[in-house]
Amino acid sequence: MSKYVKNLVTDHLRKQLDGVGDALLVNLVGLEANASNVLRAELAEKGIEVLVVKNSLAARATAGTSLDGLFEDVGGANAVCWGAEDIVSLAKEVVRLAKDKRFEAFQPRGGIMDGERLTAEDVEKVSKWPSREEQLSLLVGQILGPGSQLAAQLIGPGAALASQIKQKAEEDGDAE
């Protein structure tokens, strides 16, 4: 490949990966064409993009970006996955599909999250974390919990007092 073509490919990769902060490396070698198409379709449904890259050109394209270091010490053919709601959702989907018998060759190889490199084992660990949506629901529950508990404690004695007054009024009404 000529230097001119390498520069064109590198620029194209740089534009495609512009703004991507977190990504995972996966193995697609060994997948049959039909399985690869089904896999890509399932990933696309979740908003995940997959791009098979040449490691040396991708390393040049990601140099100086948040993905810098993603292609250090990797060999063989790799594909880059990015997208989804967050890195946890991306890892959950990649690990789920890696366990699917239809896609046995599809395996996570590592990745990068917040500028830190991830190994394949780290990707597995990240997939067990709560997603952004789950974290937000936990946070909202923690914020609203004390308020609802306070409201219940304030309303409880007032309701008991109102009940006692009503009961006393009914007793007085029966006595007359």
pLDDT of residue 41: 92
String of DSSP letters for the chain: --HHHHHHHHHHHHHHTTT---EEEEE-TT--HHHHHHHHHHHHHTTEEEEEE-HHHHHHHHTTSTTTTTTTT--S-EEEEEESSSHHHHHHHHHHHHTSGGGTT-EEEEEEETTEEEEHHHHHHHTTSPPHHHHHHHHHHHHHHHHHHHHHHHHHHHHHHHHHHHHHHHHHHHH-
Question: Both tokens of residue 156?
Answer: 């409880």
pLDDT digits (tens, 9 = 90+) for 30-49: 888 898 899 999 999 989 99
Indicate the pLDDT class of residue 175, thresholds 50, 70 and 90. Answer: low
Q: Around Cβ 79, how many Cβ atoms within 10 Å?
A: 19
Q: Which of 143, 75, 60, 71 is closest to 112 using CA atoms?
A: 71
pLDDT digits (tens, 9 = 90+) for 59-107: 888 888 888 888 887 788 889 999 888 889 999 999 999 998 888 888 9
- Distance CA(78)–CA(111), nearest Å, equals 11
Question: The pTM is what?
Answer: 0.70
Contacts 24+ apart (CB under 8 A), 73-79: 74/25, 74/109, 74/110, 76/27, 76/29, 77/27, 77/28, 77/29, 77/52, 78/25, 78/26, 78/27, 78/52, 78/53, 78/109, 79/25, 79/26, 79/27, 79/28, 79/50, 79/51, 79/52, 79/53
